Structure 1
Amino acid sequence: MQVWHDLAQAVEAFAVGVGDGGHTSAVVTIGNFDGVHRGHQAVLGRVVGLARADDRAAVALTFDPHPAQVHRPDAAPELLTGLTDKLALMAETGLDGVLVVPYTLELAALTPDEFVTRYLVEALRARTVVVGHDVRFGKDNSGNLASMVDLGGVHGFEVVAVDDIGLSRLRTPGGSARWSSSAARLLLAEGDVAGAAAILGRPHRLRGVVVHGDARGRLLGFPTANLGRISGMVPADGVYAGRLLRPSLDDAHPDRDLPAAVSVGTNPTFDGVDRRVEAYVLDRDDLDLYDEEVVVELVDRLRPTLRFDGVDALVAQMHDDVDRARGILG
């Protein structure tokens, strides 16, 4: 999948042809795609299917940063995925290209016609545009489905409107049954990583660089990888069964995908104040992960964070946590 970070790159790509077929026009969709959840996957899959049928490139336009971080930074939601993971997940759907548009107030001031002309028509050469019925775009979100259809008539592209795809049967906080980024965030805020995974279509992921901590885990017999510079929404404090993935290693490497018990919290038994994410790779004390970028997947929550009366009680609980994690992870 090609990734373009400005209009010039996209224009140049379409001039020579995008994808294996060397396509010079596209089926395009627009969205933030935070988390690339099952609803997003279905929409992107629809784009890919239409593109293959029409012999065009399958392309998505997304924004970085998230618009809410520009318009209301103090109230912006915590993002489920950083840009690196979002693009990797989008690539898995079969897209030929993604245009990452830097979101600015200048971009937000474009009229619907200016936005469509500049990005969808001139840059991505859209012949079909796939959007939801609730699509909004352009200055003050004044563009909607009807105006997109009108602009399609002017610029020569078809508009395909998709309904909410694959409603979740989960009971989510707030009563939402829709596969949505906000529903996944609410579940993660409660520590329900299994519920969030049902929306995301996979375990929730955190990405970070392993940094030095207090080395307390090693002294207790459970050496942990402490994550710094984390991207991805950190869930509620607690202990989780999960996996530690090492993207720098080949897929076939035996240490690329490792079962882990993951702690999120402040270590209250030791009066900690800094909130941390620490992963103990089950039954391993020989790994040197410092300064390595890793991904932690969270499969299920074992328990909330607790304060223990002493080190012996904590260590006993950690042994129990590891045994339970081992059972969950098989």
Structure 2
Amino acid sequence: MLRWSDLSEVPPDFGPCVVTIGNFDGVHRGHASVLRRMADDARAAGSAAVAVTFTPHPLQVHQPGHAPELLTGDADRLDLLEQTGLDAVLLLPYTLDFARQSPRDFVVRYLVEGLRARTVVVGRDVRFGWQNSGDLSTMVALGREHGFEVEVIDDITPSTAAGGAGPAAAPGQHRRWSSTWVREALAAGDVVQAAHVLGRPHRIRGVVVHGDARGRELGFPTANLAQDADGMVPADGVYAGWLRRTRRADGTPVGPDEPALPAAVSIGTNPTFDGVQRRVEAYVLDRTDLDLYDEEIVLDLVERLRATLRFDSVDALLTQMDDDVARVRTILAPGERRPS
């Protein structure tokens, strides 16, 4: 998949294209279903399938105090978009100057002249251009004027997703696949439900930094993620998950064959020791030899074991940690739900 951050990077002979526009945060089952179908249809018509998306999220620019917690950083979002079969992604920097474009200017510059759009795929609630003044009727009118068709995609739900997008929702959960649904699940610590909507375990990506070294003193050395890690951090608690290195301390990437290691992941302030900073830290089962400082890792969260608790003594904490590790071992062995 080609990855561009500016129209100047688009080859002059690229296209014609089938283009869609969106934030695609999390690239959940609904996104994936639409994008896979779009890519298949584009290929059948002799066109390229392209997604136009933005960084940062527009609400982080317009209403930073009300912007949603992002489910994925740009690196994971692009990797997940590539898995849908897209030919290219145009990841545009979103700024106030960019937002001041009229709907017409945006469509003409990026879709018509930049990508030679033959078809534009949008949802019924599409909004674009200055103050979101462009809507579906605007896009249809511009399509007639500039020679592209507009294909409208209705909401994708567990019962309507094409191509075996995933299991049906449980009773009372017949709602559209959405990033909001994932955020609600993560806020409740329900990473199983989040995985149901995403189609994979929820991932947190970050660099390992030095902590208090208390885990090592207790016999459970942990990898502590930096505060700027990508991926929404779910509710405080202890989770079973997988840890995998993705970049070495010197900046060189780790190959895709790097094994995923079973881990007990603690999220919270460590109340037993009167901690105040919320942290994400992972103990790799049966490994005390790992040196992950300054390396980038990903954590794929599989199941929540329990809420964060305050213990009356270190001995009580250690007893619980032994129990947590045993439960993580049962949940993850033998390789159950290991990420690809």
Q: Does 1:90 align with 2:81?
A: yes
Q: Does 1:287 align with 2:285?
A: no
Q: 1:308 aligns with which of 304, 307, 311?
A: 311
Residue by residue over 1:174-216, the C-alpha shift from the partner in whole angstroms, topping out at 9 and shown as x without a partner, is x772211111111111111111111111100000001111111
Q: CA RMSD in A?
A: 1.4
Distance apart, 1:16 and its partner CA? 4.3
Residue of structure 1 in register with 2:229 after alignment: 230
* CA shift for structure 1 position 288: 1.1
Does the 8 Å CA contact 1:176/1:183 hold for their aligned counterparts? no
Deviations 1:57-109, CA, capped at 9 Å, x for gaps: 11000011101111111111111111111111111111111111111222222
- Relative to structure 1, the CA distance from residue 139 to residue 264 in structure 2 (aligned partners, 3 Å threshold; closer, same or farther) is same
In 1, are the aligned partners of 2:19 and 2:50 still within 8 Å (CA)? yes
CA distance in 2, matches of 1:143, 1:250: 43
State how far apart, in whole Å, the 2-side matches of 1:273 and 1:180 are. Answer: 32
Identity %: 64
Equivalent of 1:51, from 42, 49, 68? 42
Question: What are the Cα deviations for residues 231-290 of structure 1, in whole angstroms up to 9, with x where unaligned?
Answer: 11111100000000122333334xx31111100001100001111000111111111111
Gaps (5+ residues) in structure 2? 159-167, 247-252, 334-340
Task: Check conservation: 1:61, 1:100, Cα contact below 8 A.
Answer: yes
Where do residues 6-155 of structure 1 align in structure 2 (5 Å cutoff)? 6-10=6-10, 13=11, 15-17=12-14, 24-155=15-146
Q: How many angstroms apart in 2 are the aligned matches of 1:252 and 1:65?
A: 31
Give 1:171 deviation, angstroms: 6.8
Aligned residue for 1:241? Answer: 240
Measure, in 2, the Cα distance between the counterparts of 1:80 and 1:198: 14
CA contact (8 A) 2:157 2:174 kept: no
Please identify which structure carries the higher helix content.
1
Distance in 2 separating the partners of 1:251 and 1:106:
39
Alpha carbons of structure 1 residues 176 and 112: separation in structure 2 relative to 1, 3 Å: farther
Q: Which residue does the alignment assign to 1:196?
A: 194
Report how many aligned residue pairs link the two structures. Answer: 317
Structure 2 counterpart SS, 1:264: strand
* CA distance in 1 between partners of 2:239 and 2:86 (Å): 33
- Give the residue type in structure 1 aligned to 2:180: S
| TM-score with structure 1 setting the length | 0.93
CA distance in 2, matches of 1:245, 1:171: 35
- 2:102 corresponds to which letter in structure 1? T
The one-letter code matched in structure 2 to 1:236 is A
Deviation at 1:140, TM superposition (A): 2.0
SS in 1 for 2:126: coil
Tell me which stretches of 4 or more aligned residues in structure 1 moved more than 3 Å.
Answer: none
Q: CA contact under 8 A between 1:226 and 1:277: conserved in structure 2? A: yes
Shift of 1:126: 0.7
**Aligned letter for 2:140?**
V
Gaps of 5+ in 1: 18-23
Match of 2:255 among 244, 250, 267: 250
In 1: Cα distance, 2:171 partner to 2:7 partner? 42
